[in-house]
Structure 1
Amino acid sequence: MSGLDHPEQVGTAKDTVFLSYSRDDQPLARKVLDLLQDAGISVWWDAMLEGGARYHTVTEDKLETADAVVVLWSKVSAVSHWVHDEATRGRDRGALVPVSIDGTEPPLGFRQFQWITLPADADWTADTPEIERLIKAVKLKQDGERSALAGPAGTEPSGTGTIAAPAKTSPVISRRAAILGGAALAVGAGGVAAWSGGLFTGGATDIKLAVMPFSVMGEPGEGSYLLEGFAAEIRSQLARNPLLHVAAKTSSNAFRDTGDTAGAISGKLNVNYLLTGDIRREGDTLAGGAELIDGNTDRVLREFEIKGPIDSVFAIQSQIAAGIVTLLSGADDRSTADGLSGGTQNVAAYDAFLRGQELYDSGTDEASDRAALAKFNEAIRLDPDYAAAHAKRGRTLALIQNLYGAPRERDGAMNAAAEAARRAIAIAPDFADGYAVLGFIFATGKLDVAGALTPWKQAYELGKGDADILSRYAIFRSRIGDDSEAKAAIALAESLDPLNARVFRYAGNIAYNSREPGAAIPEYEKAYGLNEGLSSYHNLVGWARLTLGDLASAKTNFEAETRYVFKKTGLAIVEDKLGNRAEAERHFAELRERQGDKSNYQYAQVHAQWGNEAEALAALEAAWAARDAGLVQIYRDPMLDPLRGTEGYQRAVGRMGFE
C-alpha cells in the first residue's frame, strides 16, 4: 500500500526519497513511486499533502531531510522552475538521483551527473534493469554512499559522469520555501540590519531589477487571473519608484518556463536582481512565496514569507514592493505610501480588470475588444473609484471607435473616452496611465495635438519607469518634431523592455520621422527578430528603403506586406518612381475601389508623390472631415514633403495644433 493512502503520515517520519516531478508527469511519477515503495523504500511526494498541510513548509522539510532526491526529468519538467529548484538542492546536498522518463536529457547544470533513462513504453516492473539500477542507487544513498550509479553486470549506464560528493553549502531557500504569515512580511534571520539599512549604496542607475512571472500552483480555476496578475502588480509598484530601474512586463515574461538560471536571465535583461516566486490559492487563502536573487551570484538575498486571506492581496503586494525598495536602496519606499496608485481594494474588481486586460492585450477582433470593455465596466461597477479601470475603459473606447466605429459616432465615442480618462485622473492625480490615455485620445482620437501635449508631459513625468508609457510618449514627441526628447525616451524604454518588439518598432518610426531611414531599418529588424509576426514590418522597411532611394528593395518589401492598404499604397508610389505608371495606377485604382472613403490619408500620400498637389490636398481635407487617425503622421511624413510649402498643408497642420 503506497504512502498516498496514509496522509496522516505527512511530517511525522523521515522518508528515504523525495520524488521531484512535473504535475503533467504524475501518472508516470506514480509508477516510479509504487515501484520504489514495493522495494521497501519510503517515498514522499507532494500529492501526499493533506488539504490543511503547510505546503511549502512540509515540502522544504522533506527536501532537506531525504536521503535521496529522485528527479524525474522529462520534456515538461526540464523547463519547470520547481523541478530545477528541487534538483539543485538535491545536487548541492549530494543526494541527487536523476532519471529520464521520456528520453529527455537533463537540462544544463545537471548533465555532469550520470542519469538513468527508463524505457519509453512505461511498462516498468521490478525486474526492469533500469528500475533495478534506480533502486540500487537509492539504497546506496540511504547507506550514506555517494558513488556512481551502477547498472547490472554487462550493462552500460545511461548518461555520463558521476554523482558528486555532498557539497558543504549554506542553506538555500527554494521558491517553495516561502509563505506569507497572516498578511505580514517576514524577514529571514540575520537580515534585519541589512533590511533596515539597505544592502546597497550605489546610485539609482545601479539598482536594476526584474520581476519574473510567478508560478501559479494548483489547478486553474476561479481566481486564476488574480494569481497570474500578482507579480505584475508588484512590478507596477516598483516601476513607479524613481530609485529603481525595473524591467518591463513583456521582456520579463519572455522567460516564463524557459529554465534559464537567474544569472542568465539577469544578463539578457541587463539587471542586477530578480524577484521570483510562486503563488497558489487554498480556499479563501493565498499562499506562496518570493525570493529576491542577486543575478550576479545566483544568491538569494531575501525570502518573503507570505500567507493571508484573499482580500489581503493588495497589502501583501505593497509590503513586498516596499521591502525590496528598502532592502536595495536603504530608503523608505516612495511608490506605495499612498496605497495602490490607480488601484483598488476590491478583489472582485481587480479580477475583472485583469480579465479585461488579457482580452485587450490579445487584440483578437472586435468581439474580444468589446468583451474587454465589458470587463472594465464591470470592474468600475464593483469599485467606482478604480482609476486604472477608468483609464483602460477610456483607451478601449477610443480603440473600438478607431477600428470599428462609424464616422458619425466618432465625436460621442471620443468624448466618452476622454471623460473616462479624466475620471481616472480625478481619482488618482499621480496615476501616470490616466494622463497617457488622455494624451492618446486627444492626439489620435480628437486629432488635437496641442490638447495632447500637457497630459503627455504629465504622463512622462509620472511614468518614467513604465516602458509602455515611455515608448508612447516618445512616438508622440517624434510626431510633433521633438527628435531629441523622442530619442531619449525611446532609449530608456529599450533599456527597460529589451525583448519587446513593439518598443523597437517605435524606435524605428522615430528614426524614420527624423529623416534617418538608414537608422530605422536596424530597429525594425530587431523588432522582427523578436516577433516575426510583427504588424506591418515589411511596410515599415519599404518606406525606409523608398526614402533611401533603394526602389527595388522597397518594392520587394511592399509586395511582401500583408495589410492590403499599406501594400497597395506603397506599390502605387514605388512603381511610379520605377517608371511603371500603368502599374502604379492599377494599384491605386484597386486601393480606391476596395477602401472607398476609408483611406483618404493614403490617397494624399500617393497624390503627393505623384505630383498631384490639388488632389493630395483634397484628400487631406477629406481625411480631416472623417477624422482619419492617419493624420497624426502629417507633420513628419516624408511622403507629404511635396506639400509642405502650400497653404492647404499649413492650414491642415495648424488646425491640429502642430504649429
Structure 2
Amino acid sequence: MGLVVFRKTPVELFANGVAVLPFRNLSGDPSQDYLSLGLSSEVRSVLARNSALRVVAQASCEAIKQRALGAAEMAKALAVSYILDGNVRLAKDRLHVAAELIDGKTGFSKWSESFARPIDEMSTVQDAIAGAVTAELAIDDDAPANASENYGATKNAAAFDEYLKGNDLYAAAIDLKSDLAALAFFDRAIERDPQFGAAHAARAKSLTSLGNTSDTVEKARQYYEGARSAALRAVELGPSSADAYSTLGYVLFQAQLRVADARAPYERSFELGAGEAHVLARYASYAAATRKFEAAERAVNRARELDPLNATIHRAVGFVQYASGQYEESIGSVERALSLNERLSDSHARIGMALIALGRPSEALAVATKEKSGMVRAPCVAIAQHMLGDDAAAAAAMEELKAAYGDAGLYQQAQILSGWSRAQEALTTLQKALELGDSGLTYAYIDPTLAPLRKRAEFQQLLKTLRFV
C-alpha cells in the first residue's frame, strides 16, 4: 500500500458547528466545580450523538475559554457557527442552570433559557438543553426515543453525581491516590445504579490506568481483567455507546494484547462515534498499529477537526503518520502537540525516534534530552548514541533503562538491541515481553526500530501469535 498523504484544509465556519463551553459554577463553592463542568460535558456528549451536528470536543472548548476571547473570535478559532455557554447553581435541593446559544458570526444571543429542577432530576437537564438547542437550530434529532438507555445513561441523581465526581478526578490524573479515589466514585455510582453503563465504561478506563502504573505484573493483570469485565458490561448496558465499545477495544488491545479480538469493538465504536474525537483518535491509533493506514487517516483527521486545540489529538495524528512512514510529517504534528501542551508525555521521544528513522541521530539525541519519561527516552538515546559511535554512552542508556524499569521495559530493551543490530538478543527479549504481556508489543507491527527483525522467522511467528497477521 502506498503512503497516505495528509493535507491541510482551509478553515471554514461549519453551519452545523457547535462549541459547548465549560459552564460556570455560580454557587460560590469551588467543590461544586465538578458539577458545572460535568453537566456541560454531558450536554456536549448528547449533542455529539446527533449526526447532523459538528460538536467541538471538550479539550478544545476548555482551551478556547481560557483565552478569554469574545464569542465571535472563539467561533472563528473553532470553525463553528454557534457557541453554547451556561452557568450552574445548586441551591438547597434544586439545580438552577442557565444556557445561552450565541451566534458565532454576530456574537449576539440566538436563544437562552433557564432550567430549574429538583436535584433528583439532575440527570435530565442535559437532555433538555440539548433538545432545545437542536430545536432552535431546526435540526432533527436522529437519536431514538430511548436514547438515554441505549447510551447507558442513568436516571438516578445520586449515581450521576458520583459519576461526575469520578470523571473530574480521573481527568485530573494527579497521582495514584486520586486515581483510586476516582475508581471509588465510579464504584459508588454503580452501587446506586447497577444498570448505569457509562459508569461501567468509566470504571474500565480507570482500572486500565491503574494497571498501566502497577508495580507488579500480577497486579496489572488483575486490574486489566477487571477492566475487561467492566467494559463488556458497559457495552451490554449501552449498546449505542461509542465510548463503551471504544473502551472495550482499548482494554483488549492495549491491556491484554488481544489484537484481533479488539477489531470488532473498535470498528463498532467508529460506526457509532463519528462525532466523538476521543473515540476517533483511539480507533485511529489501533488502525495505524494494525497497518490500516487509510482508515486511520480518515478517523484521525476527523478527530482533529472536532478537537483542534487538543494536544493529544495532534500527537495521535503524529503517530498515524509515524506508523505509515511519514516521519517528517510526524515530527510537525508532534511539535504542534507540544505547542499546545509543552509537558505532554513521551512527545519528545516520539520526535527523536522519527529523527532516528530519518537517519539524523544528532538531532534525535538533542531532542531526547528533553523527554521526562525515562522508559521512552532510553531507546532514543541508546540507538542515537550507537549510530554516532559512542557505544559507552549507548550502553549506559540501556543500563539506566534496566535499573529503572526492569522487566517492565522489555519492549524498549528489544528496540535498543534491534537498533544495535543484535537481532537474536532482541528476539529473545521480545519473546519474554510476550510472556509477561508487555503492552509495548502493540507497536511491533509498525515499529521501524524493529525493521532488522522483520524477515526473521521468529519475528513473523511473534506477529502471528499476537494475531497481527
Could you tell me which of 59, 72, 75 is aligned with 1:250? Answer: 59
How far does residue 221 in structure 1 lie from its aligned partner after superposition?
6.4
Query: CA–CA distance in 1 between the matches of 2:140 and 2:302?
Result: 23
Question: How well do the aligned residues superpose, as a CA RMSD in angstroms?
Answer: 1.7
Indicate the residue corresponding to 2:161 in structure 1: 351
Report the Cα offset of residue 228 of structure 1: 2.8
TM-superposition CA deviations, 1:37-83 (whole Å, max 9, x none):
xxxxxxxxxxxxxxxxxxxxxxxxxxxxxxxxxxxxxxxxxxxxxxx
In the TM superposition, what whole-angstrom CA distance separates every residue of 1:367-410 from its partner, at most 9, and x where no partner exists?
Answer: 11111111110110111111011011112112211211521234
Instruction: Please name the residue that 1:480 is paired with.
Output: 290
> Which residue is 1:589 aligned to?
399
Shift of 1:347: 1.5
- Residue 448 of structure 1: aligned partner: 258
Number of residue pairs the alignment of both structures matches? 456
Instruction: Give 1:439's aligned residue.
Output: 249
Counterparts of 1:485 and 1:653, CA distance in 2: 21
Whether the 8 Å contact between 1:223 and 1:351 is mirrored in structure 2 is no
Alpha-carbon shift at residue 641 of structure 1 (Å): 0.5
Distance (Å, rounded) in 2 between the aligned partners of 1:500 and 1:481: 24
Select the residue among 162, 167, 172 that pairs with 1:362: 172
**Residues 1:259 and 1:606: Cα distance change in structure 2 (over 3 Å):** closer
| Alpha-carbon contact 1:325-1:333 (below 8 Å) kept | no
For 2:102 and 2:314, the matched residues in 1 are separated by: 28
Q: 1:308 to 1:333 in 2, by over 3 A?
A: farther
* C-alpha contact 1:512 1:544 (8 A) present in aligned 2: yes
2:269 maps to a residue whose letter is A
Aligned residue identity for 1:307: A
Would you say 1:304 and 2:123 are equivalent positions?
no
Report the counterpart of residue 9 of structure 1 in structure 2.
Answer: none
Counterpart in the other structure of 1:545 = 355
Please list, as runs of the form range in 1=range in 2, the aligned pairs for 1:204-603 lying within 5 A after superposition: 206-220=15-29, 224-256=33-65, 258-334=67-143, 337-339=146-148, 341-603=151-413
Change (3 A) 1:462 1:294: same
Give the distance between the partners of 2:88 and 2:370, measured in 1 at CA: 45
1:658 aligns with 2:446: no
TM-score (normalizing by structure 2): 0.93
SS in 1 for 2:89: strand
* Change over 3 Å in CA distance of 1:588–1:338 after alignment to 2: closer
Residue identity opposite 2:331 in structure 1: I
Report the alpha carbon displacement of residue 314 of structure 1 after superposing the two structures with TM.
Answer: 2.7
Structure 1: which 5+ runs fail to align? 1-203
Relative to 1, partners in 2 of residues 1:595 and 1:315: Cα closer, same or farther, differing over 3 Å?
Answer: closer
Q: For residue 205 of structure 1, report the CA deviation from its aligned partner.
A: 5.9
TM-score, normalised by the number of residues in structure 1: 0.67
> Residues 411 and 534 of structure 1: is their aligned pair in 2 closer, same or farther, counting only changes over 3 Å?
closer
**Partner SS state of residue 64, structure 2:** coil
Matched position secondary structure for 1:272: strand
Judging changes above 3 Å, is the alpha-carbon distance between structure 1 residues 205 and 274 closer, same or farther for their aligned structure 2 residues?
closer
Corresponding residue SS for 1:635: coil
SS of the residue corresponding to residue 408 of structure 1 reads helix
Write 1 or 2 for the structure with the bigger share of helix: 2
Whichever residue aligns with residue 359 of structure 2, its letter is G
CA distance in 2, matches of 1:443, 1:606: 24
Contact conserved, 1:205 with 1:244, CA < 8 A, in 2? Answer: no
Q: Counterpart in 2 of 1:120?
A: none
More relative contact order, 1 or 2 (CA 8 Å, 6+ apart): 2
Is the counterpart of residue 614 in structure 1 residue 424 in structure 2?
Answer: yes
d(CA) in 2 for partners of 1:257, 1:510: 29
Indicate the residue corresponding to 1:65 in structure 2: none
1:133-165: per-residue Cα shift (whole Å, max 9, x none)?
xxxxxxxxxxxxxxxxxxxxxxxxxxxxxxxxx
What SS is found at the alignment partner of 2:147? Answer: coil
Distance 2:424 2:313 in 1: 37
C-alpha separation in 2, matches of 1:225 and 1:405:
30
